[in-house]
Chain A
Amino acid sequence: MKYLLAILFFGALVAIYIVLYLMNKKTPRPEGCEDLKADCDGCKDYACTNNPAHNQVKGE
C-alpha cells in the first residue's frame, strides 16, 4: 500500500510538472521580451539552451 501511494504521489507530481510546463510554453512572452538573452557566456554548460554557443553560426 505504501509503495502504491509512493507511485501515485510521484505520478501526480510528474503530471503537475508536465501541465505547468505546457501552460508556461503556451503563455506568450510580454512585448519587448521576445528576444531576451542571458549574459552567461562564462558558463561552459553547452547543454543549456541559454548558452550563447547555441546562437553562433557554424564555423564561427
Chain B
Amino acid sequence: MGELMALLVTSVLVNNVILTQFLGMCPFMGVSKKKSSAIGMGVAVVFVIVVAALVTYALYYLVLVPLQLEFMDLITFILVIASLVQLTEMFIKKTSPALYKSLGVYLPLITTNCVVLNVCLVNISNSYNFAQMLVYSIGTPLGFALVLFIFSTIRERLEQSEVPNAFVGNPIALIVAAIMAMAFSCFTGIV
C-alpha cells in the first residue's frame, strides 16, 4: 500500500508530466486562459487516460505478448487511443448532452496529447502490475489537471494585471510556467 501511495505522489507531484517531463505543452499553453476550460480539459484528460491505459494494458498482455508482436506496441497504442477518443465522443454525444457541452470540444484535442501515449508506454516499459498501472494512470492525469488548473488561475489574474507590452500573452505565461516548474522541483526527494 505504501508503495502505491508513493507512486501516486510521484506521478502527481514529483514527476509531474507537464512541469518535469515537459509533455502535453500544447493544451497547457492553449487551454489555460480560462478556469472553466482548464477544468473541462482536465476532466477529459483524466477520463481518456484511465480508459486508454486499461485498454492498452489489456491489449499488450492478452494479444501482443502471446502473438509475439511486442514490437508493434507504439503503433497499436496510437491507433487504440485515436479509436477510443472517437468512441468516447460518440458515446457522450448519445448519452449525456450536458457532459458533451463541457468536454466535447476537448475530446478530439486529446488524440494528439502525448501524455496519453506516454502513460500507456510507461505502464509497459516499467512492467507495472495491474494495481501500479491503475495508480500511475490516475495519478499522472491528476497531476496534469492540477497544474493546468493552477496555471489557468494565474493567467486569469495576469489578464487583469499590468504587464509590459513585450511580455503580454504567451511570453509572460512561459515565465510563469518556468517559475511553477522551479516550485514543483522542490517536491523532489519527498518520496
| Chain A residues close to B by CB (< 8 Å) | 2, 5-6, 9-10, 13-14, 16-17, 20-21, 23-24, 27-33, 36-43, 45, 48-50
Contacts and interface: CB of A to CB of B under 8 A. Distances in A.
B72 A6 contact: yes
Contacts of A5: 67, 69
Nearest to B31: A40
B67 A38 contact: no
Contacts of A28: 93
Contacts, number: 100
A23 B37 CA distance: 27
B69 A6 contact: yes
Given A20-B90, A24-B86, A39 B31 contact: yes
Chain B residues touching A, majority SS = helix
A25 B63 CA distance: 29
Interface stretch (B94-102, B129-137, B160-168, B181-189): B94-102
Given A13-B83, A38-B105, A39-B33, 14 more contacts: A2-B68, A5-B69, A27-B93, A29-B93, A29-B104, A31-B97, A33-B97, A33-B104, A40-B31, A41-B30, A42-B31, A42-B173, A43-B27, A43-B31
A33 to B, nearest CB: 5
Interface stretch (B10-18, B74-82, B114-122): B74-82
